[in-house]
Structure 1
Amino acid sequence: MRQDGPDGVDTLPGLTVGTPGAPAGCRRTLVERARWQWRPADGGDPAARAEEFLAAHGLPLHDLARPAGRHDAAGMCGAALYVSAAAGAALVGAPAGAANPVTGLPEVAVVVYGHGPGTPPGAAVAATGAPATPWWRGAFAESWTPRQHADAVTAVRAAIGRGDVYQVNVVGHAAARYTGDPLPALSRLAALPGARYGGTLAGAGWAIGCASPETLVELTDGRLITRPIKGTRPATAAGRAELLASAKERAEHVMIVDLERNDLARVARTGSVRVDDLFAVRRWCDLWQAESTVSAAVADGLGLADLLRAVCPGGSVTGAPKLAALDRIAALEPVGRGASMGALGWVAPGRIDLGLTIRTAAVDAERVHVWAGGGITWGSDPDAEVAEAAAKAAPVRATLVGG
């Protein structure tokens, strides 16, 4: 197994660990111990290899039902885990779709952290110790026009009419040139209101900033939890009432809840899957969104690799049936999903907390990339879907403004 050493500090300014889900009491004392990254050219099963890498570095995740031991303040704490949408598609045997637009970004990254001396708070500085370079961002260039986006929605509706699929999530991409240090901008993104999985992850020549409100999968006290989000309206009183009253949004939402129930049932104790909360309205920035909570008891002997195969890529950003939806996505989207619509968070024995990377941006050496989309059903209006994607992208783009 190839093993990559720590590399983020060589190319990007240092920062305290900002990975979503990292234990709050440990963040100032975490030190990177080992790193592994995967790209399709590396071959092998990335989920199995990630599980093996973690075990080799003191983080056994072969049996998630086994109670965790006491937290060792002198040993390994846990690991950041990133799995792209393309890697998730590969795990279920679906086409990966268009190429990743973020140069150098791996499809899977695992960063193992132990405990070390505390890192004092303060402004980010470059690896040389110099002050961070001011951030400037140019105008975003869309990867498709509003008309092309609407045409993709129409194509999905045609596929639904033929009975090929019930729902497909369609995602667009935009990129802008930048100069300077990207990490402060990505950290601002991570701090957006409602960002349950607000955080960052960086490597050699790339970085991700996430402001996601959505739980892909959480493991706490032997119970698996997912919180799919489907349904969006402006965060006004009228918008909330409209969301609650929308038969189209509720049907789209329930369809994905059923998909998530089936995904969890594959890795849960028989009969333990339940819907704890259905169509609850939550706020993210200036939007209302409908969220449900689905949970299940973890099956004995379930390992991380099998869990990732069951839940990746997330149902709320693919569609139903999942494999048929992924086929449509690969055929329709002109640019790869890159860092978006994947998973980012924290894994450790007895505890997993992975967010779905919606409301996410990524940078390479020259460009900052953003994505946004929505679920398409037979009742979708193409122009309304284009407007909804723009509304989701607006707060992300606003935090990345140059100055």
Structure 2
Amino acid sequence: MSQSGVNKVVLAYSGGLDTSIIARWLQDEYHCEVVTFTADIGQGEEVEPARAKAKAMGIKQIYIEDLREEFARDYVFPMFRANTLYEGEYLLGTSIARPLIAKRLVEIANQTGADAISHGATGKGNDQVRFELGAYALKPGVKVIAPWREWDLNSREKLMAYAEAHDIDVDFKKQGKKSPYSMDANLLHISYEGGILEDPWAEPEEDMWRWSVSPEAAPDQPTYLELTYEKGDIVAIDGQAMSPAEVMSYLNKVGGDNGIGRLDLVENRYVGMKSRGCYETPAGTVMLKAHRAIESITLDREVAHLKDELMPKYASLIYNGYWWSPERKLLQQMIDASQERVNGVVRLKLYKGGVSVVGRKSDESLFDANIATFEDDAGAYDQKDAEGFIKLNALRLRIAAAKGRSMG
């Protein structure tokens, strides 16, 4: 046993500067064996080069896994059944990826007999909370090593000096100009922080955006899509059956081509500070609009309204890292039960940054044209019934007004 009490640690490893330094730092400071875990969750970059980098640092157990389908099927799609938005805007692209990574860190720790897990999240952000709450929920006695809360490498210059001193290969030393933004990407979104974005008054530079054209540069002709739903999930686009990950990849491409999914946001982090970030979420933007449309004809009114009331709590649980909590699981059971009859087809028009619903149909539809019509309804609805309905609902208002309490 090493002096630190840690013989082996599983590191969430991207292959970038920070986690490459962490891998070496763990070896030097904890005198332990390091196992690396690299997840492909649709970030759009090759993950295999992480293997060579890990080998160069003497890492013997290297896990590189394609988790795109699991991520889409078991995390993103369940979240979208709830029409989830944090603080009314954010589609939780970063938040929803963390519980899956935490789960695999714990599983690999169990498989390899590791004593600890480690991550590259900073002490200022939400991700440290998400990773660690997930890990503790799944492996209560696990030790978590968070280097950013321990070391003194608190600047880019110190990190670069450490990399040079320890002969750590850093890609951008060879590539020249580095992006000024801190970026995180997966199948659901790409996020941007830092640089000029730290000034909430500064408009993002156009060349920052990577997944979408600007709405002004989008095609002059709209794109139409038909999304087929089964139990609240998209199962086909334009009649073509697709897996969850395929759905998201396709919608990211067609949505981005039409300038859809850009967001400039100041959010409230769980740790207490406000943070300005920009996001591109083309697939998520389309999915949210379409899901609400299919629910509009298949869900009972009170069920739909109850879901809307509970959604902010559900969103906060995901944002704050409580995916594995009993309360999130309980909410998920209710949400999933509501989706049993959310089946049908939604037709959308994508045009210059906008998503419009132009049609919806379902064999489960609660929309009754015979009742809703402005034409002769042939006795399907007795309009005289509305008088008693209104008077009963006005009773408390009339009593208050009679007592002189209707104003102020």
TM bracket, shorter-chain basis:
under 0.3
Q: Which has the higher contact order (CA 8 A, sep 6+)?
A: 1
TM normalised by structure 2 equals 0.24
Say which structure is richer in helix. Answer: 2
TM normalised by structure 1 equals 0.24
